């Protein structure tokens, strides 16, 4: 086993610790990637804060890009030196969900306690979300990566591993938005801005952003929102409906707050859908008047990672980026070193950042 540096969580809610850990070589169907960039996602922060429980000590991080530095047996189509995006979407290819073309719902569990990582003393070290990318290198299953153009900047590429595909995928895959339809996006953070981009790309007529921050609403307009509504208004859905002239065909909830889910159906038109993207903490409960949803033919649809198929969806998003039709560079607020990760997390928690990216080397 080789020794690498990683940011380790030893206690929920406490700062991560930069320390040396052990990483084993790739086994059957696995590859090793030497990372050049990893973005900080709110899911990493939620896990590290204990919102969803989990095993400790752990290495989080799941929005990464780098170059393949070793290849295990049985790997096809990938070679040392290939630049790749590393995602948390690990697909067995054989379970009912994978067979139905839904790898984000793969039913074959991954035991992060017995992944590629160990403490420097050889003890258990949880490889969170099948990645553990707050580290210099990762060993992941070949299904988790997508090759990218050799000249693509790694910081921009890393964003495609989660935040971008989750937001855009929620629009095009989960909501199946048609040109001319109306959209409300609740939350103008990293995922919300990408849902707005997805709605713009899909040809939405009106895209209404809803957020607590006027600054974020200005950001939303820069990424394609036609209108902005402050969530602090007494009934923000009324202002949103006024902007659209009707209710929304799709309401995308990109924040993990249960009270927001309580309000989301208020924005809908008859036959509209609430797309549930943001994940509240375990045990948080929302309530609905079911009869209203049934009478109006409305629905609530969960969307995990935008329901993407990474080998299908990431390449066309890269093409749009190279055409200038998808903003990635503009999503990056700041770039940090691994030893600054706690500062980067604090900046992300402040709500001021679109996406913070850790650069290696």
CATH number, domain of 292, equals 3.40.50.720
Strand partners, 146: 85
Q: Is residue 216 included in any domain, yes or no? A: yes
In this structure, are 292 and 334 located in the same domain? no
Provide the CA 40 distance to its chain's centre, in angstroms: 10
Q: What's the pLDDT at 56?
A: 97
Residue 41 and residue 102 share a domain: yes
> What does residue 141 show for φ and ψ, rounded to 5 degrees?
-70, 145
Q: Is 314 inside any structural domain? A: no
Q: In which domain, by residue range, is 234 found?
A: 170-304
Look up the pTM and report it. Answer: 0.94
Q: Are residues 108 and 137 both part of a single domain? A: yes
Dihedral sign from CA coordinates of 190, 351, 47, 257? negative
Domain shared by 26 and 47, yes or no? yes
The answer to whether position 320 is within a domain reads: no
Number of domains comprising the chain: 2
Q: Read off the tokens for 37.
A: 């960039």
Sorted by sequence, the CB contacts under 8 Å of residue 122 that are 6+ apart come out as: 22
Q: What is the pLDDT along the chain (361 residues), one digit of tens a residue?
A: 899 999 999 999 999 999 999 999 999 999 999 999 999 999 999 999 999 999 999 999 999 999 999 999 999 999 999 999 999 999 999 999 999 999 999 999 999 999 999 999 999 999 999 999 999 999 999 999 999 999 999 999 999 999 999 999 999 999 999 999 999 999 999 999 999 999 999 999 999 999 999 999 999 999 999 999 999 999 999 999 999 999 999 999 999 899 999 999 999 999 999 999 998 888 999 988 889 899 999 999 999 999 999 999 999 999 999 999 999 999 999 999 999 999 999 999 988 889 999 999 8
Give me the CATH number covering residue 82: 3.90.180.10
């Amino acid at each position: 086993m080789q020794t690498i540096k990683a940011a380790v969580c030893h206690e929920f809610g406490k700062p991560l610790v930069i320390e040396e850990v052990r990483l084993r070589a790739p086994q059957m169907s696995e590859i090793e990637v030497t990372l050049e960039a990893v973005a900080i996602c709110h899911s990493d922060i939620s896990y590290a804060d204990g919102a969803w429980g989990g095993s400790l000590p752990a290495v989080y991080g799941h929005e990464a890009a780098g170059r393949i530095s070793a290849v295990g047996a049985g790997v096809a189509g990938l070679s040392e030196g290939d630049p790749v995006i590393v995602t948390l979407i690990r697909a067995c290819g054989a379970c009912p969900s994978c067979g139905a073309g839904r790898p984000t719902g793969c039913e074959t569990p991954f035991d992060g306690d017995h992944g590629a990582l160990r403490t420097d003393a050889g003890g258990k070290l949880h490889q969170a979300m099948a990645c553990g990318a707050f580290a210099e290198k990762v060993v992941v299953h070949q299904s988790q990566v997508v090759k990218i153009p050799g000249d693509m900047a790694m910081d921009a590429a890393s964003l495609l591993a989660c935040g971008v595909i989750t937001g855009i995928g929620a629009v095009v895959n989960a909501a199946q938005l048609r040109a001319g339809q109306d959209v409300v996006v609740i939350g103008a953070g990293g995922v919300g801005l990408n849902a707005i981009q997805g709605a713009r790309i899909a040809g939405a007529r009106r895209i209404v952003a809803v957020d607590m921050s006027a600054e974020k609403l200005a950001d939303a307009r820069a990424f394609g929102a036609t209108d902005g509504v402050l969530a602090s208004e007494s009934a923000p859905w009324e202002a949103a409906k006024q902007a659209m002239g009707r209710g929304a065909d799709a309401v995308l909830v990109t924040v993990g707050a249960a009270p927001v889910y309580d309000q989301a159906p208020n924005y809908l038109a008859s036959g509209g859908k609430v797309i549930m993207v943001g994940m509240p903490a375990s045990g948080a409960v929302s309530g609905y008047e079911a009869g209203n949803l049934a009478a109006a033919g409305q629905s609530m649809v969960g969307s995990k990672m935008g329901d993407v198929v990474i080998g299908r969806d990431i390449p066309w998003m890269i093409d749009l980026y190279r055409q200038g039709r998808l903003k990635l560079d503009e999503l990056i607020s700041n770039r940090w070193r691994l030893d600054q990760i706690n500062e980067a997390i604090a900046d992300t928690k402040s709500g001021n950042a679109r996406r913070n990216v850790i650069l290696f080397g």
